[in-house]
Chain A
Amino acid sequence: QKEVEQNSGPLSVPEGAIASLNCTYSDRGSQSFFWYRQYSGKSPELIMSIYSNGDKEDGRFTAQLNKASQYVSLLIRDSQPSDSATYLCAVKRVSNFGNEKLTFGTGTRLTIIP
């Protein structure tokens, strides 16, 4: 089982609709959860972080975390063509060496259709 799993997509959503991206993780000891956006040929950039169960909203973005189900999601409301990118789910956990590190999923490619 992969440590962090995402549906690779592609996920196509009409402009103005809600895009829903999902992620599951295997380590129950994971502490913090992040969504990064990566445009083609560019570096990842942090867009959301969430640390406790429930929802966290930031503008058009809402992150949802359910630790019991080991599930984290990202909702994008009023999707825009500029939201077309690959979205990477990342989970912070303690490694076997005792340090904390981020483990990334393979990413979901999102395309917003005008």
Chain B
Amino acid sequence: NAGVMQNPRHLVRRRGQEARLRCSPMKGHSHVYWYRQLPEEGLKFMVYLQKENIIDESGMPKERFSAEFPKEGPSILRIQQVVRGDSAAYFCASSLGTENTGELFFGEGSRLTVL
């Protein structure tokens, strides 16, 4: 049973470009969470999605960031017009449901570097 799959593992973008990060949850998991981790800091919640629905996006910056989890395919975190401050590790996690929210299974992360 494959774990949470994220790609790309490393992404380099220049300021103003777009970054797209993908996450395929564990088989059978329908709940996806995105977290951002800056160097030497903890995980900051960004968004919680179920299939075709954004449930909680309270941690998402109001501009340039968007997320989706379509009926088919992976969840995508999209960052438009990236700036240097967007450089971070972006972790996706999945769970079976809210009853198991604490038992999140994390992907290996996508490390974004903005030049």
| CB under 8 Å from chain B, chain A span 72-114 | 88, 90, 92, 95-97, 99-107
Note all chain B residues with C-beta closer than 8 A to A106.
41-42
Q: Which listed residue, B43, B55, B102, touches A97 by the CB 8 Å rule?
A: B55
If A34-B102, A49-B102 touch, whether A105 touches B56 (CB-CB below 8 Å) is: no
Chain B: which residue is nearest A49 at the CB level? B102
Chain B: which residue is nearest A89 at the CB level? B42
Chain A: which residue is nearest B42 at the CB level? A106
Number of interface residues of B (CB under 8 A): 23
Number of interface residues of A (CB under 8 A): 26
If A96-B58, A97-B58 touch, whether A32 touches B102 (CB-CB below 8 Å) is: yes
In this complex, the member of B44, B48, B101, B102 whose beta carbon has the largest number of chain A beta carbons within 10 angstroms is: B102
Q: Which residues of A contact B (CB under 8 A)?
A: 6, 8, 32-34, 42-46, 49, 88, 90, 92, 95-97, 99-107
Can you list 11 residue pairs at the A/B interface with Cβ under 8 Å?
A32-B102, A34-B102, A43-B109, A44-B91, A44-B106, A97-B58, A102-B104, A103-B45, A105-B42, A106-B42, A107-B41
Q: Which residues of B contact A (CB under 8 A)?
A: 33, 35, 40-45, 48, 55-56, 58, 91, 98, 101-109
